[in-house]
A = this chain, B = another copy of it.
Amino acid sequence: MNEKKGAILILSGPSGCGKSTLLKEVYKDINDYYFSISTTTRAPRVGEVDGVDYFFVTKKEFEEDIKDDNFLEYALVHGNYYGTSLKPINKALDEKKLVIFDIDVQGHELVRNKLDSIVTSVFITTPSLKVLEDRLNSRNTDDKEVIENRVKNAKAEVEYFRDYDYLIINDNLEEASKQLVSIANIARIKTKLFSKESIVSSWL
């Protein structure tokens, strides 16, 4: 009866909204997920692990996958390719996993339009721009210019929240975690994931 395919969970939200922290809570609670990571031809930096931070491949491998139409999207930046390979995503969907994307609003549109899968999407924000700025400043890790750029992007991104299914306003970590865990828990029981035939036949 459980003839269902894998499902997709998309998270978007400005840098500083707390996405990574919330995702850690989700991973404690759910099984059978695959977190989508990018593929790149640039060399690993110190501490970066293949299959964790990126899939590190050669330029030749990357270009063959471009030719075989194996990328959801890709870009050439300063001589290095970066892209989202469809191979691990399709493998995870075949294994009925929940495929999780942490992507921006353009990526959200791309996944919705290009992947023939059932998607649940979540937009995560801070309660206000002021709170976001304060969080970014208190991290003390980024240049003023980087922060200004992030704030500018955040203002542009938040305009698109209504293209998503759910909105999490992360002003309380416990509450926001509970909401995200709940969303992840039910992403795989959308009715559209079940074929009508498989359900109805067990009812004859």
Contacts and interface: CB of A to CB of B under 8 A. Distances in A.
B128 A1 contact: yes
A138 interface: no
Interface residue range, chain A: 35 or more
Given A179-B185, A182-B185, A200-B159, A127 B1 contact: yes
Interface stretch (A38-46, A48-56, A163-171): A163-171
Nearest to A194: B167
Interface string A172-194: 00000011011101100111111
Contact of A161 (B178, B181, B199): B199
A165 B185 contact: no
Interface string A1-28: 1100000000000000000000000000
Contact of A189 (B159, B167, B190): B167
A1 B37 CA distance: 33
A154 interface: yes
Contacts of A182: 181-183, 185-186
Contact of A190 (B154, B165, B169, B185): B165
Interface of A: 1-2, 123, 125, 127-129, 154-155, 158-159, 161-169, 178-179, 181-183, 185-186, 189-194, 196, 199-200, 202-204
7 contacts: A1-B128, A1-B169, A154-B203, A161-B191, A161-B194, A161-B196, A167-B189
